[in-house]
Amino acid sequence: MIPRHLIFGTAAMLVIALAAGMYAWHLRRQIAHQQIQTDVSHPASPAPQGPMEQVTLWVAEDDPGTLRARAATIPMPSGRQERAEELMRALLNVYTQESSPHPIVPTAEVRTVFLVDPGLAVIDLNRAFAEGHRSGILVEELTIASMVQTITANIPGTTRVKFLIDGKSQPTLAGHADLSITYDVSAIQQLASVLQNTP
């Protein structure tokens, strides 16, 4: 015969273990739910409004590792900040196509672009953009250069560009390109002039 206190003790442990397990499961679901809410809490980008305008997109091409200016016609809002966001979305749209010359994961998004006077543009990208980005000095540099060039070609007065991932600064894009610094537009323009030459 098993002593009664052992039976009760074991039963109590089982109940506690099950209750703790259910509580942990409940907490995980709650966190996951909150995460989903957080992910969608920023306003979904509205369909772009405004007259169609011709803009210049600086498009990276992995083969042969160059940067090319490409004209595109997209609807452009009137506000400077909204214009900057639409430019970035148009550029990402090129990169997330199947036939992209510089593939970026389809889940990559521009969360927002802040234009801070004097001359600072802050581009906030989502986590998927960084986590899905390919690793390598040139491939990361092409992404940075194409985004900075596209902003500066269409938003006059931009002199510096800073990148954030999910609202935070991070050391690198995918292990190489430095995201901790604020980019000097003139330095990127010099780089872009070199990247236009086919090696």
Partner 1 sequence: MHWSRYRLRLCVCICLVISAPISGSSGPKQLTIFSDAASFSLPVREQGGREYVDLMEILRRFGRTDTRSDHDRWRVTLNNLTVEFKNGKTRFKVGKSDADLSAPFYLENGMGYVTVDSLTTLLPPFLQTQVTLHQNSRRLFVGNPAVHFTAQTSGTALVLNFSSAVNPTISTEPGKLRMSFSREPLVAPGTERLSFDSKVIPSAVYSEENGTAAITVNGSAPLFARFSNDGRTINISPAPQGAAQAASTPTVNQGNAPAAPPQAPAPASSPIPFVPVFAVIDPAHGGDDRGEQLSPQLAEKDVTLAIATRIRQELQARGMTAVLLRSSDITLAADQRASAANRSQATVYIAVHAVSLGSGVRVYTSLLPASGDSRGPFLDWQTAQSGYRTFSQAAAESVAAEVSRRQMKSRTLVAPLQPLNNLEMASVAVELAPRSTIADLNSPNYQQTVAESVAAGLAAAHDRLRKP
Give contact residues for partner 1 (rule: CB under 8 A): 1-2, 6-7, 10-11, 13-14, 17, 21, 62-65, 134-139, 141, 144, 159-160, 171-172, 175-178, 180-184, 187-188, 190-191, 194-195, 199
DSSP string, 57-80: EEEEETTTTEEEEEEEEEE--SSH
We find the least distance from the C-beta atom of residue 130 to partner 1, in angstroms, to be: 15
Q: Which residue reads 């600064």 in tokens?
A: 169
Q: d(Cα 89, Cα 106) in Å, to the nearest integer?
A: 12
Residue with smaller CB distance to partner 1, 127 or 176? 176
Residue with smaller CB distance to partner 1, 66 or 154? 66
DSSP string, 4-61: HHHHHHHHHHHHHHHHHHHHHHHHHHHHHHHHHHHHHHSPPPPPP-S-EEEEEEEEEE
Residue with smaller CB distance to partner 1, 1 or 71? 1
Residue with smaller CB distance to partner 1, 76 or 188? 188
We find the least distance from the C-beta atom of residue 75 to partner 1, in angstroms, to be: 31
